[in-house]
Amino acid sequence: MNTTADRGLARAVQRITSTARGPYQSAIVRIGFAATWLLFLLRELPNRHEMYGPNGPWSWGMARQLIAANDAFTALMWSDTTLWFELVYGIAVLSSVLLILGWRTRTMSVLFMIGVLSLQNRSIFMGDGGDNVIHLMAIYLVLTRCGQVWSLDARRAARAAPGVTGGPSRDRVGPVLWAVLGLALITATFLNQTGWLVMLLLGLLWVGLGLWWVVSRFAPHSEPRALLDVLANLAHNAAFVVIMAEVCLIYATAGWYKIQGSRWQDGTALYYPLKLDYFTPWPALSDLLASGGVMVMVLTYGTVIVQVAFPFTLFNRRVKNVLLAAMMLEHAAIAVLLGLPFFSLAMIAADAVFLPTAFLIWLGGRVARGRDRLFSRADVAGRPEQQRGSPDQPRTLVG
């Protein structure tokens, strides 16, 4: 009996330490949240000074008083100059792009987190609910190995694998990037006045990345390298579980709070936001939906049922997939009907952690084929007319 239990425990430990689970799910979450934050930053580019910068109603002095009380981290409190603000905003945009592409994923996830925390903690009143989800997920992504697939990192690792043409090459970009960011971290330590826990985390990550590179470079098959791999897998799997638990907690709390509301109980809750000017980008469409009492009641009750039931369906794959599709469609409808696109994108990106692996592999294959077709057409269109062949030239028949 004890032997069977010990074997089961050993298999469980082997399962969570040997590999980083959910490579496709973590990749789609990485791409989804980075894309959501990037689109938000680009849309608000003309308004960035009023929202997060020196021209905003929430002034730098007011933000400094609040942050001194709650000890939140934001790099925008290190200086109140416009140049510094533009630099931080630019880093937030650039890190989002590179995180989507999966270039130096671990480093970009850290810079992505710094950008999210710096801007959101600078002006805490800017957001629609989706900013809270991005805030949390940006922290969790730092601990995940979210570049195993669908990334430039994975492509570089495949090319450097033994037996591949060209063989492994020495990494020159990594040490330079590590040294530059180390210098920036040392400088930031002297400038920082709040958020010391985040600064400590950044210092540990910087040391850990340097140790990883040294061991991988000089002792790639040693026990220290295996130990580091196990620790990385443990951190990834723990963060992955936390992300899933966070999504379940969001839906469970939202659903149970709705149940306590009288408007959700009588089935009329959806009617009221459809009549608010602030949440009606398409008034005619909102009026059409609000005019159907049965439809409003069905959608109101359906929203509560789906949110409350979803955490309990994780043990049944088929039911879970049905409710997952329903929730994604619900958020897509919220984006259109209520004019909350970034909240909806953030929630859809969070929901993606539960997508089936087979579907994600199929989706990745379709995207890859579409990319190859696009590049092949562009290559043909870019060739000279003589190379493409013209109707006037004789054609050679084979067979």
Cα 42 to Cα 46, 244, 334: the distances in Å are 8, 28, 21
Residue owning tokens 């909806």: 344
Q: Which residue has the higher pLDDT, 63 or 375?
A: 63
Q: What are 364-386's pLDDT values in tens digits? A: 999 888 888 887 776 666 666 55
Tell me if 141 sits within 8 A of 205, measured CB to CB.
no
pLDDT band at 390 (very low <50, low <70, confident <90, very high): very low
Report the 10 Å Cβ neighbour count for 93.
Answer: 15
Helices (H), the chain: 2-18, 23-43, 48-51, 60-70, 82-101, 105-122, 130-142, 152-159, 173-191, 196-218, 223-259, 262-265, 283-290, 293-309, 317-337, 341-351, 357-382, 385-388
Closest to 50 (Cα-Cα) out of 94, 72, 82: 82
- Domain spans of the chain, in order of start: 21-155+178-369
Enter the tokens of residue 380.
């043909």
Closest to 237 (Cα-Cα) out of 140, 317, 162: 140
Q: What is the mean pLDDT of residues 6-11?
A: 72
Q: What average pLDDT does the chain have?
A: 87
Enter the tokens of residue 277.
């000017």
Q: Which residues contact 37 (CB under 8 A, 6 or more apart)?
A: 92, 96, 112, 115, 116, 134, 138
pLDDT value of residue 393 = 44
pLDDT band at 392 (very low <50, low <70, confident <90, very high): very low
Is pTM, for the whole model, over 0.85? Answer: yes
Per-residue H/E/C for 307-364: HHHHHHHCCCHHHHHHHHHHHHHHHHHHHHHCCCHHHHHHHHHHHHHHCCHHHHHHHH
pLDDT value of residue 394 = 41
pLDDT value of residue 6 = 67
Give the Cα separation of 67 and 63 in Å (integer).
6
Q: What are 144-164's pLDDT values in tens digits? A: 999 999 999 999 988 876 655
Q: What are 314-335's pLDDT values in tens digits? A: 888 999 999 999 999 999 999 9
Enter the tokens of residue 137.
């997920």
pLDDT value of residue 300 = 93
Q: What are 15-38's pLDDT values in tens digits? A: 888 899 999 999 999 999 999 999
pLDDT value of residue 169 = 58
For residue 38, which amino acid is it? L
